Every structure is written in structure tokens, then in C-alpha cells.
Amino acid sequence: MENVWHAVPLIVFFGVVAYIVKIILENATRRKLIDKGMVDENVKYLYADVPETRILSALKWGMVAIAIGLAVFVGQMVPSVLREEVTIGCMFIFGGLALVIYYAISKKMLDKAKEENSRKPI
């Protein structure tokens, strides 16, 4: 019975890999159907390739990563008695501030893009 448990992680690993491949292939199939116009119009927005959202997503996670790195740096500067508490607290504070700043930046960028799109002649 003990030898069976050694195989469980291997089985789980290959199961997860197979599931990920299945999801990727299904997504590719759906994209091809959408590109050929063989689906309902209500579904197309789910697979629309919008570069602005990818750029904003990269900005968000970059800001959060920098904020957490800054929190760890600040946490190393305090005495060792409080280091752990200060580091965790700073991670939440700086991460939250990064997300609030991201919200302001993204709202401004999206409003600007909407304004430019509304000015274009049809």
C-alpha cells in the first residue's frame, strides 16, 4: 500500500498537464470558430484581442510586484523583533496603494481612449 502513494504525485502531475492541454486546445478551437464567424455575436467579446487591456494588466502586476519588493526592502530595515510583522503589513499597504494608483492610471487611460474614439469621424 505504501508504494501506491509514491505514484499519486506522478498521476496528479500528468492529469494536470493533460487538463491544461485540453483547455488550450478548446480555447484555440473556439477562437477559430469566432474568427470564421460561426458563433453568436454575444460570445465574440469574450475572445476579443484588445491590446489596451493586456498593457494595463502588465502595468497592474508590475506595480504590485514593485510594491511587494519595496515592502520586503522596508521590512529588512526594521529591527529583527518586528521584521516579520512590518514586512507583512507593508506588503498589504504597498500592494493596496499600488492597486489604487493603478486604478487611477487605467481609468485615465481608458477615458482618454474612449474620448479619442468618439472624436474619430465615421
3 state DSSP class of 103? helix
79's grid cell: 529591527
The domain limits of the chain are 1-47, 50-122
- Cα(95)–Cα(22) distance, rounded to whole angstroms? 34
Angle between helices 51-77 and 83-119 (to 10 degrees): 160
- The pLDDT value recorded for residue 52 is 64
pTM score, whole prediction: 0.56
- By C-alpha distance, which of 27, 24, 20 is closest to 46? 27
pLDDT tens for 24-55 read 998 888 788 777 777 666 666 666 656 666 77
